Amino acid sequence: MPEQLIRHGHLEADPWQRVDPAADAASSTLPDGPILLPASFWLAHRDTLRQRVGTIGVSLAPTFRVEDLVPDLRLLPLIAVEFPKFTDGRGYSTARLLRERYNYSGELRAVGDIGRDQLFFLRRAGFDAFLIPESRDANDALLGLADYPGAYQAAVGQRLPHFRRRFG
Amino acid sequence: MYHYDDFDRKMIAARVKVFRNQTERFLAGKLGEDEFRPLRLKNGLYIQRHGPMLRIAIPYGQLSSQQMRTLASITRDFDRGVGHFTTRQNLQLNWVKLPEAPDILERLASVDMHAIQTSGNCIRNITTDPFAGVAADEIADPRPWAEILRQWSTFHPEFEYLPRKFKVAFNGAREDRAVLHAYDLAFQLVTNEAGELGFTVYAGGGLGRTPLLAQKIRDFLPWPHLLTYSEAVVRVYNRYGRRDNVWKARIKILVKALGGAEFARQVEEEWAHLKDGPQTLTAEEVARVSAYFAPPPYERLENEDLSAVKVDNPAFARWLSRNVKPHRVAGYAVVVLTLKQAGCAPGDATTEQMEAAAQFADRFSFGEIRTMHEQNLVLADVPQRELFSLWQEARRAGLANATHGLLTDMIVCPGGDFCSLANAKSIPIAKAIQERFDELDYLFDIGDLALNISGCMNSCGHHHLGNIGILGVDKHGEEWYQITLGGTQGNATRYGEVIGRSFAAAEVPEVVERLIATYLALRHEGETFNETLARLGLEPFRATAYAKDPVNAAAADQELIDA
Ligand code: SF4
């Protein structure tokens, strides 16, 4: 089975095409349609790429400092955060910062080595889309979203921690 | 102690289901070993020498008698009738079977227990002073704060996959009984000049290959900010802690690389965004949790005069002097039940001993038990008039060795007999030392002495903190032991110094005996081992330890080179 996209709680077709041009490639040679580019490429070519805003999303490596992208967030309908290994948890902090501190409201997609056992946490960190790799069953992964009946902490989608709701 | 409500119960019930599903997927071949490993570790399940080991969380070392009985039943039904209490106040079962692990969790959940985050690269079980709530030198009870932080750290949405494990400790007394300086993040309860309660915060401590003492990162954190500030600390670590090298991934390496001041600055910068946000604690929540730790209904009692019984019964007198501690309420005492019987692995308790401890708790101590990082049990609220009966029964149960704080009250990790990470065995070394020091008079003459043994650099036996520390090392596939001297816990926590080349297993008891003999010969009246060592330096100890003798003379010179 190819990669499958879970968005807003169900499987959807993925209109985004991933493009990985060499850092010095000219932005004029990029394909048409919605494309997902490395954030570093966006930063290097942002002045020309701005002409096609709306069809460009960026992808963040685990080491990418999300602070560097803050001035451009309004221009980006999709930000993908890469998880080369599911045990590399930096992307969770990236997601919360994007949502909670920088009020990013576009699609926030987790990409890479993710599956059923991560989805509950990823969603609370602020991801609303998950690209499930070929090796995993996306229908099974969907079930992970319901792993726990609630949570103690405040997080994205749950502004108040449990202790502030306990007395409500 | 804390009682779960409906919500807490639903959360651990869900965990049992999740883990059962993960185990089933693994057993069905749908989840590879590499994928399952980090998941099972998050639930305390290791694969060890003999098979799986399960580490059960005992949050800040508190247990009800009912929970202890359930643990005992688990050791009987799922293990070989024995459990191992660890330096992190948890319980380990060495003989479980993987397909049964979910059933064990289910039984644990029936008494509000679990194995959540007892291993793996996440926020681990939180530890504290075993005398919390009863010690006379207490500023404030640390347990409510530990419970509040336990809830916050449970299934935290951002910190499931940290660079490495993350251990937190609280201390509420003037004397540090929680080894704060050896922790990734540690909170000392304090009051400021205005009389408000808060925490002095330390970060970046740890044992292991690079032992470092935690650095102070904040003098005073007012209590409402406990969660937001912790979130800032762990976020800075999650983002910037090293992930390229497992030996450099603990927060201590980050704190050291940045310097304590710069690390603290980064935390403050992060915290500025979180401070006063929705996770700021409310007085209502703190009161709710604190109510569970209110003092039990003490009787109005007088302090007992036990001198007559003591004269009649010197063994009882000895036990009183070592294992019974003062209580803040008149007529009560704190009792340490030692798990250091000769011939047994330190920290081990049999099913029957666990049941006996539960029964003592019901009869003598308001149904509660604590675990200590020194791998003993504590009954915190025993009426003094019951001490003699308790002692007699504890003796029958093998829980009354009058050796608390003495040389044979060793801290010892499971080592090479069980642990697959070990370089060397630790239990046989402990047993050999116990045998050599089986004279109670001699032990009492030596006095307070901390001897700690770890089977490898992971330091589960806290060897750096021992006055005498013993560390298993691997030399060309053989088991050797390195000795450190001068470590200590408490307010003046420091790590021991290596004395020189390591020793073969057979030499270790003899070397310990020589070190002790040196101390006894050179000490001034009333001096502890560490005080004598501080006065004279390592040299006299080193000289006797390495004095030529048939056992190690041949190897001595050559070994010195690669020590
Ligand atoms: S110190 Fe090493 S040998 Fe001992 S329990 Fe820890 S990891 Fe295992």
- The reply to whether B392 and B416 lie within a common domain is no
Would you state the pLDDT for residue A168?
56
Q: Please give the ipTM for the structure prediction.
A: 0.97
CB contact under 8 A, B7 and A121: no
- The reply to whether B95 and B142 lie within a common domain is no
Tell me the CA–centroid distance for residue B154 and ligand 1, in Å: 25
Give pLDDT tens digits for B268-279. 999 999 999 999
Which residue, B51, B82, B109, sits at the end of a domain? Answer: B109
- The reply to whether B415 and B353 lie within a common domain is no
Q: How wide is the angle at C-alpha B154 spanned by C-alphas B292 and B228, nearest 5°?
A: 85
- The reply to whether B340 and B384 lie within a common domain is yes
Q: Do the beta carbons of residue A100 and residue B158 sit within 8 Å?
A: no
- The reply to whether B420 and B535 lie within a common domain is yes
Mean pLDDT of B514-524: 96
Task: Determine the Cα–Cα distance for residues B5 and B147; give it in Å rounded to an integer.
Answer: 13
Task: Determine the Cα–Cα distance for residues B301 and A126; give it in Å rounded to an integer.
Answer: 57
Mean pLDDT of B484-502: 95
Select from B10, B238, B279 the Cβ nearest to the Cβ of A161. B279
Task: Determine the Cα–Cα distance for residues B121 and B196; give it in Å rounded to an integer.
Answer: 34
Chain B CB contacts of A162 under 8 Å are 7, 151
Select from B18, B158, B281 the Cβ nearest to the Cβ of A93. B158
Task: Determine the Cα–Cα distance for residues B481 and B458; give it in Å rounded to an integer.
Answer: 14
Q: Which of B173-177, B206-210, B292-296, B505-509 has the lowest mean pLDDT?
A: B206-210
- Per-residue pLDDT band for B563 (boundaries 50, 70, 90) equals very low
Tell me if B375 is assigned to some domain.
Answer: yes
- Per-residue pLDDT band for A45 (boundaries 50, 70, 90) equals very high
For residue B276, count other CB atoms closer than 10 A to its CB.
Answer: 10
- The reply to whether B264 and B194 lie within a common domain is yes
**Length of chain B, in residues:** 563
Mean pLDDT of A27-38: 89
Number of domains present in the structure of chain B = 4
- The reply to whether B439 and B552 lie within a common domain is yes
Domain span holding position B142: 127-283
Give pLDDT tens digits for A76-134. 999 999 999 999 999 999 999 999 999 999 999 999 999 999 999 999 999 999 999 99
Give pLDDT tens digits for B165-189. 999 999 999 999 999 999 999 999 9
Tell me if B406 is assigned to some domain.
Answer: no
Tell me the CA–centroid distance for residue B458 and ligand 1, in Å: 6
Would you state the pLDDT for residue B113?
98
Would you state the pLDDT for residue B548?
78
- The reply to whether B88 and B142 lie within a common domain is no
Residue numbers of B between 104 and 123 with CB closer than 8 Å to A: 121
Q: What's the CATH number where B379 sits?
A: 3.90.480.20
Tell me if B118 is assigned to some domain.
Answer: no
Tell me if B315 is assigned to some domain.
Answer: yes
- The reply to whether B197 and B277 lie within a common domain is yes
Tell me if B91 is assigned to some domain.
Answer: yes
Identify the bridge partners of residue B56 per DSSP, sorted by sequence position.
B91
Give pLDDT tens digits for B403-459. 999 999 999 999 999 999 999 999 999 999 999 999 999 999 999 999 999 999 999
Mean pLDDT of A136-140: 93
Name the residue of B53, B421, B429, B465 whose CB sits within 8 Å of the most ligand 1 atoms, as the mutation to test its pocket.
Answer: B421
- Per-residue pLDDT band for A13 (boundaries 50, 70, 90) equals very high
- Per-residue pLDDT band for A29 (boundaries 50, 70, 90) equals confident
Give pLDDT tens digits for B303-337. 999 999 999 999 999 999 999 999 999 999 999 99
Tell me if B480 is assigned to some domain.
Answer: yes
Which residue, B109, B140, B168, sits at the end of a domain? Answer: B109
* Domain annotation for chain A: domains and CATH numbers: 4-167 (3.40.50)
- Per-residue pLDDT band for B554 (boundaries 50, 70, 90) equals very low
Reported pTM: 0.95
Mean pLDDT of B212-230: 98
3-state per-residue secondary structure call for A96-161: HHHHHHCCCCCEEEEEECCCHHHHHHHHHHCCCEEEECCCCCHHHHHHHHHCCCCCCCCECCECCC
- The reply to whether B479 and B537 lie within a common domain is yes
Tell me if B290 is assigned to some domain.
Answer: no
CA distances B151 to A44, B45, B134, B200, B413, Å, are: 44, 21, 24, 21, 28
Which residue, B361, B396, B431, sits at the end of a domain? Answer: B396
Task: Determine the Cα–Cα distance for residues B515 and B438; give it in Å rounded to an integer.
Answer: 17
Task: Determine the Cα–Cα distance for residues B72 and B81; give it in Å rounded to an integer.
Answer: 8
Residue A139 has pLDDT above 50, yes or no: yes
Name the residue of B459, B465, B482, B484 whose CB sits within 8 Å of the most ligand 1 atoms, as the mutation to test its pocket.
Answer: B459
Q: What's the CATH number where B545 sits?
A: 3.30.413.10
- Per-residue pLDDT band for A166 (boundaries 50, 70, 90) equals confident
CB contact under 8 A, B161 and A92: yes
Q: Does any CB of chain A come closer than 8 Å to the CB of residue B285?
A: yes
Chain B CB contacts of A153 under 8 Å are 152, 156-157, 279
Q: Tokens representing A76?
A: 């980006």
The sheet carrying B82-85 orders its strands as B45-47, B52-56, B91-93, B82-85, B348-350
Tell me if B293 is assigned to some domain.
Answer: no
- The reply to whether B332 and B184 lie within a common domain is no
Distance from CA of A138 to the nearest CA of B (A): 13
- The reply to whether B359 and B271 lie within a common domain is no
Residue B143 has pLDDT above 50, yes or no: yes
